[in-house]
Amino acid sequence: MDFQFKNKKISGILTILPKREVLFEDNISNYSFSHAKSMKLKLAMGYNKQRIAEDGVCSSDLAKFGLEYLINNNLLEKEEIDALIFVSQSPDQFLPPTSNILHGHLDLKQDTLCIDINQGCAGYIIGLQQAFMLLDQDAVKKVVLVVADVLSSKVSKRDRNSYPLIGDAASITIIENDENFSDIFCSIKMDGNGADVLQIPAGGFKMPSNEETAEMVEDDNGNYRSLNNLVMQGDKVFNFVQTEVPPMIKKILERSNTDKDEIDYYLFHQPNRFMLQKLADKIGVDRGKLPSNIVENFGNSSGVTIPTNISYNLGNNLEKNIYNVCLSGFGVGLTWGAIVMKLGRVKFNKIIEF
């Protein structure tokens, strides 16, 4: 499905990372791989460091810390927040919505619309699209988009397919109207037939967690995980990304009447370096325009990787300059989406630690 919006801008991005840093070598002994093979895996995939939340830290803790930082530093006024969107696969509870929990923590006005969205790798794209739609309403002047995930506790430490790339993080993006910004082009697609490619089988109402679902089982590749853990069919994810994302990028560039070389940065979700470099080649863009360095520095924090990518790779330059960018997220669902827009002259673009 395609969307188009006018006169909207991102006016600030804050990424919140846990202070705890875990090195790839710290977990090599957990994998049924020789040290030499593990180091080859590290080199090929770009594994190096991960940011992992301390035990008991929830998505709302990271988000609350970031929101209070913005408010206390006069970068955001509570009274200005007309809508609060919370995108996550790791909510604090089944109910109430985490956006309402944050509303209560911050004592926001009753006219603030709170929305929770259960999405992952493409969650930032879907959250931005929802924010743009809300800003078409006269009553909505400023939207706060929170994307947060602390999925590391749901990944088996003996799973070399998934644990080396996982990371925890949160981001806060401020979106508002601005007549000086040109059209925004969005595209979102979904294929529920691939829903089992990325999943946590147990823990919901269909299969509640119990002693049986917690039993660790070895798969054909020597990985150990339980039904309570995230399971990823990596080959299918890779093929999906390489097959479905390039035509979407081509189409959205055509819709926006933009040549691929006119895009300054392709700021994509960060599954791993190998997949992104292959994707850049498939799209036909210089690898330098499509950064792939987030997993090796922070880990894959699902939907948060796109704003982390922006904060880390553009930094203070985004406060001074305006860039033509293509954003894209792809993964769990299966869901994939892209946005072509102008990004820049923001009030803030930074990373803080919790």
pLDDT tens digits, 86-131? 999 999 999 999 999 999 999 999 999 999 999 999 999 999 999 9
In the chain the first and final C-alpha atoms are separated, in Å, by 37
The pLDDT-based confidence of 12 (bands split at 50, 70, 90) is very high
Residue pair 209/202 in contact by the 8 Å Cβ criterion: yes
Q: What CATH number should be reported for the domain holding residue 353?
A: 3.40.47.10
pLDDT above 90 for 33: no
- Average the pLDDT over 340-347 and give the result: 96
Residue pair 172/322 in contact by the 8 Å Cβ criterion: no
Mean pLDDT is lowest, of 29-38, 219-228, 268-277, for 29-38
Residue pair 343/10 in contact by the 8 Å Cβ criterion: yes
Question: CA–CA separation, 278 vs 40, rounded Å?
Answer: 18
Q: Which domain holds residue 326?
A: 1-354
Question: CA–CA separation, 125 vs 307, rounded Å?
Answer: 10
Taken as a whole, the chain contains a residue count of: 354
* pLDDT recorded at residue 25: 85
* pLDDT recorded at residue 21: 96
Question: CA–CA separation, 89 vs 94, rounded Å?
Answer: 11
Residue 76 has which token pair? 């955001």
Q: What is the pLDDT of residues 39-79, one digit of tens each?
A: 877 777 778 899 999 999 999 999 999 999 999 999 999 99
Q: What is the pLDDT of residues 281-294, one digit of tens each?
A: 999 999 999 999 99
Percentage of the chain lying above the pLDDT 90 cut: 88
* pLDDT recorded at residue 175: 98
Across the chain, mean pLDDT equals 95
Give the distance, in angstroms, between the CA of residue 165 and the centroid of all CA atoms in the same chain: 13
Q: What is the pLDDT of residues 291-311, one digit of tens each?
A: 999 999 999 999 999 999 999
Q: What is the pLDDT of residues 160-205, one digit of tens each?
A: 888 999 999 999 999 999 988 889 999 999 999 999 999 999 999 9
Q: What is the pLDDT of residues 145-163, one digit of tens each?
A: 999 999 999 999 999 888 9
* pLDDT recorded at residue 160: 85
Domain count, the chain: 1
Residue 163 has which token pair? 């644990």
Helices 234-255 and 273-283: crossing angle in degrees, nearest 10, is 40
* pLDDT recorded at residue 152: 96
Backbone angles phi, psi at 116, to 5 degrees: -105, 135
> Please, what sign has the CA dihedral across residues 250, 275, 269, 153?
positive
* pLDDT recorded at residue 69: 98
